Amino acid sequence: MKKTYAVAIDGPSGAGKSTIARAVAGKFGFMYVDTGAIYRCVGLAALRAGVDKTDPEAVQQLLQSLQIELHHDGAGVQQMILNGENVSGQIRTPEVSLAASDFSALPAVRAFLLDMQRAFARRYSVIMDGRDIGTVVLPDADLKIFLTASSAERARRRFDELTAKGMNVDYETVLREQLARDAQDSGRAVAPLKAAQDAVIVDTTGKTLDESIALVLSVMEERLCL
């Protein structure tokens, strides 16, 4: 029997990757790794330190100063520890979303985080979600899923998530920022957001969360013979 499995789930923001990946990871006892949260830690640290993304030396200095750890709480929710501080709540603001997208386009940042992401897959059965997991981080993953949904529906979900947390945002702004971030993530030169050639495309437009989870579960059961 195979010792560990690696499942890659890529797709644009708001497609439901993290919620679905967490749910299916729990079902199979796999470790869930939200790689976007790792890029968000870099974005938060850069904002705090006022680092200019066009200054390679400042970026390198920032990366050297970072200690990023990932813990899972009792409910299987990933907690991000940045230089000893739990920043899981602070990395979810619109400002950090944009900074994460900005800094994730830099080759130095991507190279810095690559080993960290691969190390998880060497040690555990993982479900890893991000933008380039199937194409760059885990090109030999046992299963690659590209999870997507229409822009309008993804923006609506993000809007609901932010307002539920008490944030004062309007739908049009959320949609505009999401489209800008999608364009930046898909258009960058290094490791752009795109479906791997051998990925299974799962479109969650018009589907409830439970329906989407059931769909991904059935793909995993079928492809991994679980």
Site residues, ligand DC (CB under 6 A) = 13, 35-37, 39-40, 100-101, 104, 130-133, 181, 185
At closest approach, how far in Å is the CB of 109 from ligand DC? 9
The nearest distance, CB 18 to ligand DC, in angstroms, is: 7
- CB of 2 vs ligand DC, minimal distance in Å: 24
Shortest distance (Å) from residue 220 CB to ligand DC:
20
Q: What phi-psi label fits residue 106: left (phi over 0), alpha (psi between -120 and 50 degrees) or beta?
A: beta
CA distance 5 to 188: 29
Residue bearing tokens 């059931």 = 214
In angstroms, the CA 223 to CA 138 distance is: 17
Taking the least distance from each CB to ligand DC, the nearer of 104 and 212 is: 104
Nearest distance from residue 131's CB to ligand DC, in Å?
A: 4
Please identify, using beta-carbon distances, which residue of 3 and 178 lies nearer to ligand DC. Answer: 178
| Residue among 190, 47, 13 at smallest CA distance from 106 | 190
Cβ at position 169, least distance to ligand DC in Å:
15
The alpha carbon of 223 is separated from its chain's Cα centroid by a whole number of angstroms, namely 22
In angstroms, the CA 25 to CA 46 distance is: 31
Kindly tell me which of 37 and 174 has the beta carbon lying closer to ligand DC.
Answer: 37
For ligand DC, the closer of residues 157 and 181 by Cβ is: 181
Q: Which is nearer to ligand DC, 144 or 181 (CB)?
A: 181
Closer CB to ligand DC, 16 or 36, in the complex: 36
The answer to whether 30 and 42 have CB atoms below 8 angstroms apart is: no
User: If you search the block for the tokens 């299916």, which residue do you land on?
Assistant: 24
Nearest partner of 102 among 179, 190, 184, judged by Cα: 184
Q: What are 85's strand-pairing partners?
A: 82
